[in-house]
Copies of this chain bind each other. A is one copy, B any other.
Amino acid sequence: MTGITRYTRILTLFDQAHPTWTVAEISAALDTSASTLYRLIREMVAADMLESTVESRYRLGPLFVEYYRRLKLTDPLVLSGSKFLRPLLNQIPCPCTTILARLYGKTVMCVAEERSSIATFATSYELGRPMPLLRGATSKAVLSTLPKRQIMSLIEQASPNAQNDLDALYAEFTSIRKIGISETHGQVDAGLVGIAAPLRSAELGINASLSAIVEERKLNEEIRPQIYAALSSTARMIEGFMAELALDETKSNPAKSS
């Protein structure tokens, strides 16, 4: 094992199903000697990525809370977009969750969300949870922002069976990009509808989406156009802010403010 993966493969073990690990368990899972792991874990504890708990077990450490904040304060998508999620909610006249999501490897991940107080339902697009690329308006809108080559490759990897229908599948994303809206019903959560607008900043290399999740039974021909309009106009504003940030970057570059 080499480089940063020595640490990251330890980190990936810690999830909801396995909140704590002993060195012996890690040693078995990763096929690495205990003496090496004790050293690595000691380093990670010192860095606050892990911390020790009862029964000689280890759990995730608080460093991630600090860096989540740093990201919120520095990431151009979160900076530009999250301030619009609450106003967007107020433009939508039914229980709703608004979501800012982005490409995350071969998944899509929500990076900011707001929920109207009257919303009782739960959506699977939780903050920080990797979600499939090809299901749900939120994901499809993200995918639609990518170059054709990349979309094709991702479709192929996600469903290696449908080699022939590739072009047919791709057509959907062309359409989303053209219309500026994707709407899907129950593809992620039964009874819920996702409506999403693609979000892009070519300059910053950002491929994302802005979406509203509502209950299928609350959606009607009066509300739908309001949601479409609210998403589209908000998305345009967010892209405007991102463009501004990109400009700031460029301008401040020679100054090297440090």
**Which chain A residues have a beta carbon within 8 Å of chain B's beta carbons?**
3-5, 7-8, 11, 14-20, 25, 29, 40, 43-44, 46-49, 51-55, 57, 59-60, 62, 64-76, 102, 104-105, 109, 111, 117, 126-130, 203-205, 246, 249-250, 253, 256-258
Q: Are A60 and B47 in contact (CB under 8 A)?
A: no
Q: Are A204 and B64 in contact (CB under 8 A)?
A: no
Q: Are B65 and A205 in contact (CB under 8 A)?
A: no
* Chain B residues whose CB sits within 8 angstroms of the CB of A19 once the complex forms: 73-75
* Chain B residues whose CB sits within 8 angstroms of the CB of A102 once the complex forms: 62
* Chain B residues whose CB sits within 8 angstroms of the CB of A104 once the complex forms: 48, 62, 66
Task: List 15 extra interface pairs beyond A19-B73, A67-B67, CB under 8 A.
Answer: A5-B43, A11-B67, A14-B70, A15-B70, A18-B258, A19-B74, A53-B76, A55-B249, A57-B249, A60-B70, A60-B75, A62-B102, A64-B68, A66-B128, A68-B127
**Which residue of B has the minimal Cβ distance to A250?**
B55
Q: Are A249 and B54 in contact (CB under 8 A)?
A: yes
* Chain B residues whose CB sits within 8 angstroms of the CB of A249 once the complex forms: 20, 53-55, 57
* Chain B residues whose CB sits within 8 angstroms of the CB of A67 once the complex forms: 11, 60, 64, 67-68, 128
Q: Are A16 and B250 in contact (CB under 8 A)?
A: no
How far apart sit A187 and B2, CA to CA, in the bound complex (Å)? 47
**Which residue of B has the minimal Cβ distance to A6?**
B4
8 pairs of A and B residues whose beta carbons are closest in the complex: A69-B128, A19-B74, A68-B68, A64-B67, A16-B73, A65-B128, A4-B43, A66-B128
* Chain B residues whose CB sits within 8 angstroms of the CB of A129 once the complex forms: 66, 69
Main secondary structure of the interface of A (DSSP, over half): mixed
Q: Are B250 and A73 in contact (CB under 8 A)?
A: no
How far apart sit A182 and B8, CA to CA, in the bound complex (Å)? 40
Q: Are A65 and B14 in contact (CB under 8 A)?
A: no
How far apart sit A46 and B204, CA to CA, in the bound complex (Å)? 18
**Which residue of B has the minimal Cβ distance to A61?**
B71
How far apart sit A207 and B53, CA to CA, in the bound complex (Å)? 12
* Chain B residues whose CB sits within 8 angstroms of the CB of A76 once the complex forms: 53, 59
Q: Are B73 and A25 in contact (CB under 8 A)?
A: no
Q: Are A111 and B203 in contact (CB under 8 A)?
A: no
How far apart sit A203 and B52, CA to CA, in the bound complex (Å)? 11
A57 to chain B, nearest CB (A): 7
Q: Are A8 and B47 in contact (CB under 8 A)?
A: yes
**Which residue of B has the minimal Cβ distance to A105?**
B48
* Chain B residues whose CB sits within 8 angstroms of the CB of A44 once the complex forms: 4
